[in-house]
Structure 1
Amino acid sequence: MIKPYLYVDKTKGKGRGVFTKERIPAGTRIETSPVLVLSYDDTEIVDKTKLHNYIFLWGVRETRSCIALGFCSIYNHSYDPNCIYEMDFDEETMSIITRREIKKGEELQINYNGDPSDSAPVWFDVRKK
């Protein structure tokens, strides 16, 4: 399920990102998408490819990874994200939920560290607006 008002577009300095055509209230589940779960061995292989930038660690111990379908792998990183993501290990899905009201035309972003307040470095240089 992806809300129909979401769309992918170019975003300055980051390639592509996910945006909205409408205002979205805080606490709205805007996407729930299936994931393809990769084994530890497959994760090691994928980590050596361009796909590394699009996978998420998976499982309670994060020993596997997943490729999220839908738009999940296109949301850009922010240390002040307007969305969070939730993983359902049993259903093998990821959901994106707004943390605050989102304005029409605004880019939707998540913190790649999982916790919206986690300011630990990520594997690339974060570009400021």
Structure 2
Amino acid sequence: MIAPCLYIAATAQMGKGVFTNAPITAGSVIEIAPAIVMSARERKLLDQTLLHDYIFEWGFDGNRCAMALGWVPVYNHSFLSNCEYEMDYETNSIQIKTVRDIAAGEELFINYGGSWDSDKQVWFETK
């Protein structure tokens, strides 16, 4: 499920991103995407490819990974994001939900560090 108001467009500095063409209220689920879950062995192989930048740590032990389908890989990172993601290990899906009201035309961000307001460094900042 992807909310019908969402669209993908070019950004000034981050390539492409997810935007909305209508206002969205805080607490709205805007996407539920299936995820392809991979083993620890497969994760080691993916870590050697460009896909490393698009996978999520998966499971309670964190040694597996998942590739989200839908538009989840297109959301850009912000430390003070306007959306958060939640992983559902039972249904192998990732849900995107707004954490504040969002105006039409605004880009939607998730925090790659986990919590929508986490200031933990993410992998591309440590390179």
Moved over 3 A (4+): none
Offset at residue 3 of structure 1 (A): 0.6
Number of corresponding residues: 126
Between the aligned partners of 1:39 and 1:125, the Cα distance in structure 2 is 26
Between the aligned partners of 1:106 and 1:32, the Cα distance in structure 2 is 20
Superposed counterparts of 1:50-61, under 5 Å: 50-61=50-61
* Aligned match of 1:32: 32
Structure 2 gap segments, 5+ residues each: none
* Aligned match of 1:49: 49
Normalised by the length of structure 1, the TM-score is 0.94
Normalised by the length of structure 2, the TM-score is 0.96
* Aligned match of 2:122: 122
Letter in 2 for 1:3: A
Structure 1 gap segments, 5+ residues each: none
* Aligned match of 2:109: 109
Aligned-residue identity in percent: 45
RMSD: 1.2
* Aligned match of 2:79: 79
The alignment status of 1:62 with 2:62, answered yes or no, reads yes
Between the aligned partners of 1:74 and 1:83, the Cα distance in structure 2 is 13
Letter in 2 for 1:5: C
Between the aligned partners of 2:69 and 2:52, the Cα distance in structure 1 is 15
Between the aligned partners of 1:117 and 1:7, the Cα distance in structure 2 is 24
The alignment status of 1:94 with 2:94, answered yes or no, reads yes
Offset at residue 125 of structure 1 (A): 3.7
Offset at residue 33 of structure 1 (A): 0.8
Offset at residue 56 of structure 1 (A): 0.7
